[in-house]
Every structure is written in C-alpha cells, then in structure tokens.
Structure 1
C-alpha cells in the first residue's frame, strides 16, 4: 500500500508561496508545504501530524502481519484513528493546514478501504483456539491444497456414463482421508458420497457381513439426502449363500430411485479389509468390477498405503482394469505455507518469515507434521500466556520454534507418523531398509551410494532395490548423487531412536 509523502520540515522554514500551485494548492497533493501567516499557531498541526505517524505505524503492522485477523485488526485501528484525526483537524487546526490535512485524511481512508474496508476487530479474551488438526481429517475451510488430486478426480469423474473407480495411496497421515471427506463439496448435489471407513465399521465376519454393512451405509447416505422409496436392507437377506445376490438386488432397487445421481463410495483404511478377508478378497473384487460395469453410476474410491498400489498385480488384477491409482504425497510449498500462516480465516497469531521457511524445510510439506509443529507452537503460547501469566508478543519467532523442537514430547506426539514410516520399512521388501535409514540418520546432507554401503553394519546385496523402494515410498530422495531423507524431521526421529537404542 502506497504511503502519502509527509513533509516534516517546520513550516516556519518555508518561504511564502514555496511549493504552492497557481490556485494556492500544494505542488504535490500529499505535500504539506504551505505558506503560513506570520501569526499562525502550529501546535495543532504538529499534533495532527503526530496522529498521522501513529496511523502509519498501524499500516506497517498490517503489511508485516501474516495472519488475516491481525491484518484486519490493524486496518480497523488505522481507520478509527483516521476518523479521530479528521475530527481533530475540523475542531482545532486552522486554514490553510486544515484543508491539506483533510485531503490527506480522505486519501488515506480511500487507501484503507481499498485494502479491506471496515473489518471486525480482532479481540483476544482467552486462550487461542488451536486450529491445527492432529488426529482428525481436515474439512471445510481447514482443508487446504490438494488441488492437483481434486482436479484429477474431476477429470476422471466429470464425463457421463462409465467412469473409473480410484485408488488413493500414500503414507499414513498424508491426507487421504481428508480428500475423501471433502469430495462432496467438490462434486455437488448430483453426486452422493457414501463414507465407508473400514476403521469405523470394525471387524467383519465374512463377505456377507461386509456387503450388508456396505448396503446399510449406502442406505443411510441416501436417506440423509432425502432419497425416498428405498427400503432398508435386511440382514436376513445377506446370508453366506445369497449375499452377492442380495447386494445386487439392492443396487437394482436403488437404480430406479437415484434420480440421475452418481454414488461415490469411499473405502478408507482398506488394509484392514485385507487383513480380515484375505482369502475371500479376490472374489469380492471380481464382484465389484462386475458391479461397476453393470451400474456405471456406482464409483468406489479406495484409500490405502503404498503397498496397496504395489499389490495391484496380484489379487487386485481383476479389479484394476477399472481403477485408476493416484498418489497422495506432500503438499505443495504454497499450500503448506498457507496451512501454517492461515489455518483458519480468523487465526490471529503471526509468524516471522524465517520461522515459516524453517517449518517448510523441516516438514517438506508433510501435512501431519506441519500441523504438529503449528499445534505445538500454539499450545506453548497458550501455556505461557494463560497458565504462567507471561505477557508475550502474538508472534512466533525462531526461539519459539526451537523450544518446541527441543521439548521431550514433540517427537512422542508425532510417533504415529514416524513409527508408521519405520514399520513400513521394516515389513517391505527388499530387506534391510531400516538399516539404511539408521546409517543415513547422522548425515543431514546425505551420503553417496558408496558412502552409504560402507556405513551399513553388514553388506546388503539388495541395496539398490531397497533404495529404490525407499525412494518410491517418499522416505528418501536422491539429488546430485546423494541419498538423504525426504523429511528432515523423520531423519531427526531416526537419529534420536538410534541414540536411545545405543544407551540401552
């Protein structure tokens, strides 16, 4: 925002008529140079200029703030101060200074209105609500980024007729569930989203129990959207011998009532189904493929780990002719930055720019870890402000981030992510992946392949395959011939783990 030029040279030092246009106006509309009368009292003029300087300070606060709430508050305070300045000029400042100051007030008011107008005052009366989400999917305004995945889904599902089902795969805590939960906002009223989270369903006895539970989930979603005339599925119809027929007849009844709507059934945590129905799964997947072809308005969106996509050539093969796999990886840097500085529209704490940059470097845009750092910073702010009674700036500095990282509970709170990566490395072929991670952990800049091979406790004949798998799983990245951790916080967690194991 442009700042009007303010001359702070004493008016008494000016020559009469200096800087004044042909009609008695300043040469520049924002220049306060005037030709005073010999008896002019400048006290009120200088007081008005002092008020204007305070307004400039609020504008600087606006420009320096990363939080929308703080920006709004600074704009409102500047607007209020301008109103008071206008009143003071009208009551106490005499001509010709009053004419020039009123013009400046009007120009500043126009600038502030252009930047946001009159906005709500940011008022903090208690602990800051922590907007960073750790254990639940992000929904609504808290769901940021993933435009690439959503655009790809729109491309796949926009056409009429037969469209492919989708597999979203990636690490745990990467945001797959959040994507599934926000599909409804993206695809409108002609698309009905059926949330079939296998973690919520719990254990299933057999295929018949699974198909009955799925039919109930579809029925509940349809009833919730006001779809009339569909009878509730009866468990007695879903016997072991007739479950597939019962589910097919249920879809037939739904076909005549759906009024042109497409159904997207989201199956999250699919590995749980693999664990419970491993023997029956091939037949179930063949049935689903036939259902997609018979009922083109039925679409499934699976979500699981990398291993789910990798096993598509095994028993998944009958289904994957009609399923498109989409990788869910790290947030783009711009989206991760927005998640940091504006997790909600009314978030009213600010960040120094070097704190934001460091958080991006530490997490590489991993959404759970971005939220973990933000959550820890807000929790620490609340504890120091409202439990310990410390008065502190509503802004995060590097010292705050360093204190959070040094806290003993930080890596414990992130263990769900870190241990998940480690567990997958332990149980993925080729063997030896955990040893590679342990050897790399002391080296933030990474190692060449030769250096890494020499650092391993014993030779690994499958080293290249293991490195390729860790790279495919986004655990390691190779750049300029050096292997290093994709996420710096993961490297630090492994290093801490090795240090603790070495002390035992």
Structure 2
C-alpha cells in the first residue's frame, strides 16, 4: 500500500535495514530496545528459522554459514556496535579532559572485552542477548579501572543481562549472565590493577554486588513500565515538531509521519496526543501513504487514533453526499459491523437511510420512488429531532450531515412531483416485482381474509394457521400489511423464512435470526422487544431462546403476537438436508403453540400441510386460510383508484376487459395496468389520461413479456411435461373455450392425477363436463 516514493515497508513491522553498515548497526540496536517486532522480522528475512534466542553456533552448524546476510548481522552486532559504543565513550572522555593514553587504553579494553563477551554469549545463549551484552559489557569495561572495573562491569552485566533476558522472554537467564559477567570483570580488574586493587575489589564487590543485582533486576523487569512515562513529554515534542514540519512542506510526499513515535516505539501505551489530527492531514494530502499508516495503527497500541480518524473519514464521506445518487451509494463504504464504539449506532442510522434511498431509486416508477422517498424524509425528520436533543460530541458532529440529507431528499421528492406534473405523466403506483410493503399505499382489499384470521386467533383451542395460496396471489403482501386488518392488540411479527433464518448453519444461528426478524417486525408496529445476543445461544440455544420469549411476553403487556412465518417450505428443505433437527425445530413451534397462549403461529406457503407430512404430525388441527383472487370490487378499486389522486381514468369497457383478462388475479391486474400506464405515457398529452379498450388490448403483449418470469415459473416449476401438454392443448382452443373431459381423456389417457394437480394449482377449472383456463392471460402464454 505504500507509495513508490516511500521506503519499502515504511508503515509495517518489517522495515528495511539501512544498507550502510554503520547506520544499519545503530538501527539494529534501536530495534532491540524500542521495536522488537522489527528485530524479529529482520531475522526472518535473513533466515526464516532464525530466532532472537537461537544460539548463533547452532545457526552456523546447520549449514547457514554461507548466508551473507547472516555474516552481516554477525559483524554488525558483535564488532561494529561495540566499536561504535566505545568510540562514543572516547569522545565523551576527551571532552572531560581525560589523557589520550588513558582514553586509548579504555577504548581498546572496551572493544576487546565487548567483542569477546558478545560473541561468547551470542554463541551460547542467543543472537539478541549476545549483541546487547557485547555493547553493554564493552562500554562498562571501557569506563572501569581497577576496583571500579569489577563493580561497573558487574552492574552493567546485570543490567544488560536483565534487559536482554526480557527481550528474549527469560529474566532469570539475564540475571545469570549479569552475575557471570560481574565475576569475570572482577577478576579482570584484579589482574589489571595489581594485588592491592584485587583485595580492594574483593571487599567492594561483596557490598556492591547485592545492590547491583537488585538494581539490575528492578530496571530490567520494570523498564517497559516507567520508560514510556519518562519519555512521553519528549515524544510529544518530537511528534509535534514532525507535524509542523510536514505542514510547512504542505504534505509533500513522502511525509515525515513515518518518523512519528507511534511507528517505532512499541512500548508506548499512553495516547499520543495529536496523532489523529496528523494522520488525517496525511490522508488528505497523500491518500496512499495515509491509508498505509492507518492500517498499521489499527492493530497497534495507538489504535484509538485509527478509530478516531476512520470515524472522521466516514463523517466526511457522508458530508460529501450532494445528491440522492450519492446518498444511495453511501452504505456501501460504511463498515458498521466491525466498528464497535459509541459512534456505531449513528453510522448504522446513516447506513439504513442510504439503503432505503437505494431501494427507492430502484423502483420502476417515479410514483413509487416518491412514495418511498417521502417515508425516508419522515425518518430523517425523526432522527433530526433525536439528534437535536443530544449533546454527545459525535451526535453534534453528524447533526449537520443528517440535516443536509433531509434537505436533499425532500428537494428531490418535490422535483419529481414538479417534473411529473409538467410533463403530465401518469405515475405508476403498481408493484409487480416485489411484495407490497407496509409503507406502500396500493395494498387493496383482503378484508374477508383479515376477518377470518381474527376469528381463528380468538379460538380458545389456539390452532395454528396456514395461509395457503398460489404464487403471486399476494400472500407476502398480505402478511406485510396484515396489521391494517387486525385489532391493535394483535402485534404481527413477520418472518421471511426464505431469508436469514433458514440459511443459518446451526440451531443457534436459526434462532438468532428468527429473534432478530421478530424484533425488526415488532419495531414497525411500535413495539420494542429485548435483544438476544448470538453468543448467548451457542451453549444451549433452545433454552436461552425460551428465556428470551419469557422477556418478550413481559414486553407485550396485554397484547398478543401473531408470528407469521412466510415460505415455510424453505425451512422444510433445510430440515430435509439435515441442517436443522426436525424434532428440535418443529417441536419448538408446537411447544410455542401449546404452552404460550400469547403467541399465535401462522404459516404461509403455496403448498398444503398434507404435502409436508412432518409438519402435519407436529401442527395438529391446523386451520387453512385460502387466499385466491381479489373480489371484483377490490379489483376495480385496484384498477381505477389504486392510490389517492390517481390521474388515469378508464372507460367502463376498458375496466371490464382488464377484469376478464386477469380474473381479478392481484399480480396480473397490477402487471397489465402497469403496462397500460407505460403505453399511455407514450401517447399525446391530449389523450394520455383516459384509457380505452384499445389501450388494454395493445398492452397485452407487453404484459406477457414483462411478466414472463411469472408465466415461466408456472410452466417450468408448477406442472410436469404432461401438464404442459394439457395446458397447451386447452389454450389452443381459444379464449373461454371449454374442452370436454372425454376429449381430454382421449388425448391424455391416465392423466387424472395431472388434472387434479392443475385444478389444485388454480390453472384450470371444471365447467359443466369439461375444463377451461381460469385466467385468460395465462391461457395466452400457453398458446
């Protein structure tokens, strides 16, 4: 993700080492202290099997000595670093006025001892330990003389041992290295300083050793606790300087952000103030570099800054939406599921609104677009009021955005209305591709079915209900709108089993999705149900689901739930495939019906229970509610007055022809009327708003074409080859033709079962001693 102008792997835990031997050596030492993950990744680049606590001699014995990168690491860690450390020591002593001869002696001793001890420890203990001990020991020897040699070396050895032991995960090993080095230094000091010095060291060491070990252990064990606090003020100054320099350079790439301590100090847990502002500045000026930095920080101790920046980026993205097209795409870029913070509910609000706008703009007619967008505008008004009551910093940040969205949606609705009136276009309110939702005004009739369901719900036997009807008869539309037909104390909870519940992989997923759909449906009715977490269901799904139902009953107060399960056949398929256990799932429904009087269960499908024996054995005494064609008065209303202020008028014979062609089939009435509106909108405005018989006839071919998915489903999925042949034979006899049973049996002997199926599917009907098509439009499809 890094820019070509950036150093390779600049915003990762695997930065490249400087090619220069000296700078690269210092970089290794820096990684050991501040960035151990970079050190580990550097070793993996040299050899995937090389680890920081692997003894160097093992690596050489395993035949890796031909690896030039390994020799480079050996030279940098065990030769160059001790030399550099003692050279720096020599410069300091020179400034302090130490004689040149003494400086040369100390540096020579320091380098010699540092290299020797570093190699020895590296070979015996590990790569990281050897490098750190070599540097610490070499400096200590260079500083020390006489008695001080022993004391300083012992302390330095203890400190180095504990620090490096901490790096490699072994504090005890570090203490042991420190003690051994201290003893060796004491001996070296004794030899170098003569007998008297040796005696003096023996006395001094006894006192100093205990203190030195204690200090070393304390320092090594707690350094990661106190060093971040001690260095914090200096880091803030350093980071602020980088930010100022970058702003002065106008964000020129590559930025200085990579030198920010958040990218090299892995021990710093305190929030580095201003990091979020700096990161946002880089993202705005260098998106590629900024996103690489954002990705790195999202898994680092400074992830708070990444989260704050991501929230602001989401806000800026939402704020940039200048029209409804931009709003409808906004939900695609919002990651609302992964970001769990106080701003998550706000982002989910915007995501849902964006999805609603997207659904509205996908409507085929301008009328339905306006209808759904008005509902979106109402939701935005409600959210705007809620936002105005809150003083939370994020709500205040997003308030202008939701206000802007409301204005955009409202203005677009007004613009659509003006365009339609100016062109004198007829808005089509008809819904032919999807079920009619609660918000859509066009839902018509079905009062008799609503009354029948209400009567059965009051039955003391509490029988389960089956809403049975052929496809596209309006079952789902009825369930979406059934709350309009029932008393207020009955709360419909609609669950589409074709969706998430039946797609789950286990019982916990099924019950979680079932509860979630119930919550969403109840919310549309103004009732808030308690939530049910997925994690709770994992150990004992049905027990915890029953406990959740107890809470739901408490929330119901005096109301009754109508649990409407649409497309129950899909759940049966999941049971047949073994994804769910029949006894557990269907037994749960039976238990719900028998032992929870506040819950009524209604199934909906295009098959009878007799066709699904397993359901019949669990749902005893099920009552069937048949949904079929609309009543003639309901169909007339759907044709002439589908919605308020409908601008198209029909001549009487045109209405009669629509009724003849469709037989009041709800889907086919809408299909044909929608095509009539399309035809009228192409005509001259002087005759546009009056439909005549010729308009109806001219719309039939287009209706057969645009509704081909409906007719093809009948042909391919609802009847077999014999059934298709029978339908084609009857269709060929002409409109309204009745074909005698004798004729049909001569053409199709032994087809009694098929005739019964065609009758059950409501495709043909018995008339006198023959059969004919029930619906003329379906007959025309089979001609």
TM-score tier, shorter chain, comes to 0.5 to 0.7
Matching residue of 1:145: 445
Alignment pair present for 1:441 and 2:731: yes
Q: Is the 8 A contact 2:719 2:758 kept in 1?
A: no
Query: For the residues of structure 1 that align with 2:524 and 2:429, how far apart are their CA atoms?
Result: 29
2:705 paired residue among 392, 406, 412: 412
Matching residue of 1:68: none
1:269 paired residue among 562, 567, 584: 567
Matching residue of 2:636: 337
Q: How does 1:140-289 map to 2 (within 5 A)?
A: 141-158=441-458, 163-201=462-500, 203-222=503-522, 231-239=530-538, 242-278=540-576, 279=578, 280=580, 282-283=582-583, 284-289=585-590
Q: Is the alpha carbon distance of 1:281 and 1:269 closer, same or farther for their aligned partners in structure 2, counting shifts above 3 Å? A: farther
Aligned-pair distance for 1:393? 4.7
Aligned-pair distance for 1:347? 1.0
Aligned-pair distance for 1:165? 2.7
Matching residue of 2:694: 399
Question: Once the two structures are superposed, what CA deviation does each residue of 1:293-324 show, in whole Å capped at 9, x if it has no partner?
Answer: 1111112222111x243424x10123331531
Q: How does 1:424-435 map to 2 (within 5 A)?
A: 424-426=717-719, 432-435=722-725
Q: Is the 8 A contact 2:586 2:615 kept in 1?
A: yes
Q: Is the 8 A contact 2:530 2:552 kept in 1?
A: no
Query: For the residues of structure 1 that align with 2:712 and 2:759, how far apart are their CA atoms?
Result: 18
Aligned-pair distance for 1:171? 1.2
Matching residue of 1:486: 774
Greater relative CO, 1 or 2 (CA 8 Å, sep 6+): 1
Question: Once the two structures are superposed, what CA deviation does each residue of 1:186-222 show, in whole Å capped at 9, x if it has no partner?
Answer: 2243222212112343722133311111112233445
Q: Is the 8 A contact 1:162 1:297 kept in 2?
A: no
Q: How does 1:350-389 map to 2 (within 5 A)?
A: 350-385=649-684
Aligned-pair distance for 1:242? 1.9
* C-alpha RMSD of the superposition: 2.3
Displaced runs of 4+ in structure 1, greater than 6 A? none
Structure 2 runs not aligned, ≥5 long: 1-419
Aligned-pair distance for 1:340? 0.9
Matching residue of 1:317: 616
For residue 232 of structure 1, give the secondary structure of its aligned residue in structure 2: coil
TM-score (norm 1): 0.66
Aligned-pair distance for 1:226? 5.9
Matching residue of 2:422: 125
For residue 365 of structure 1, give the secondary structure of its aligned residue in structure 2: coil
Q: Is the 8 A contact 2:451 2:486 kept in 1?
A: no
TM-score (norm 2): 0.43
Structure 1 runs not aligned, ≥5 long: 1-122, 496-504
Q: Is the alpha carbon distance of 1:343 and 1:257 closer, same or farther for their aligned partners in structure 2, counting shifts above 3 Å? A: closer
Aligned-pair distance for 1:494? 1.0
Aligned-pair distance for 1:367? 0.6
Q: Is the 8 A contact 2:450 2:486 kept in 1?
A: no
Q: Is the 8 A contact 1:289 1:322 kept in 2?
A: no
Aligned-pair distance for 1:223? 5.3
Query: For the residues of structure 2 that align with 1:393 and 1:133, how far apart are their CA atoms?
Result: 21
Q: Name the one with the larger helix percent.
A: 2
Query: For the residues of structure 1 that align with 2:509 and 2:522, how far apart are their CA atoms?
Result: 20
Query: For the residues of structure 2 that align with 1:396 and 1:413, how far apart are their CA atoms?
Result: 20
Query: For the residues of structure 2 that align with 1:264 and 1:281, how far apart are their CA atoms?
Result: 24
Q: Whose Rg is larger?
A: 2
For residue 483 of structure 1, give the secondary structure of its aligned residue in structure 2: strand
Aligned-pair distance for 1:163? 2.6
Question: Once the two structures are superposed, what CA deviation does each residue of 1:363-410 show, in whole Å capped at 9, x if it has no partner?
Answer: 11111000011000011111234xxxx64252111211121123xx42
Q: Is the 8 A contact 2:491 2:560 kept in 1?
A: yes
Q: Is the 8 A contact 1:190 1:260 kept in 2?
A: yes
Aligned-pair distance for 1:225? 5.5
Aligned-pair distance for 1:355? 1.2
Alignment pair present for 1:472 and 2:760: yes
Aligned-pair distance for 1:413? 1.3
Query: For the residues of structure 2 that align with 1:224 and 1:334, how far apart are their CA atoms?
Result: 30
Matching residue of 2:743: 451
Pairs aligned (count) = 355
For residue 435 of structure 2, give the secondary structure of its aligned residue in structure 1: coil
Q: Is the alpha carbon distance of 1:222 and 1:303 closer, same or farther for their aligned partners in structure 2, counting shifts above 3 Å? A: closer
Query: For the residues of structure 2 that align with 1:224 and 1:375, how far apart are their CA atoms?
Result: 29
1:292 paired residue among 593, 596, 612: 593
Question: Once the two structures are superposed, what CA deviation does each residue of 1:44-84 show, in whole Å capped at 9, x if it has no partner?
Answer: xxxxxxxxxxxxxxxxxxxxxxxxxxxxxxxxxxxxxxxxx
Question: Once the two structures are superposed, what CA deviation does each residue of 1:134-174 show, in whole Å capped at 9, x if it has no partner?
Answer: 12333564222212211101111245x65333211111110
Query: For the residues of structure 2 that align with 1:218 and 1:421, how far apart are their CA atoms?
Result: 32
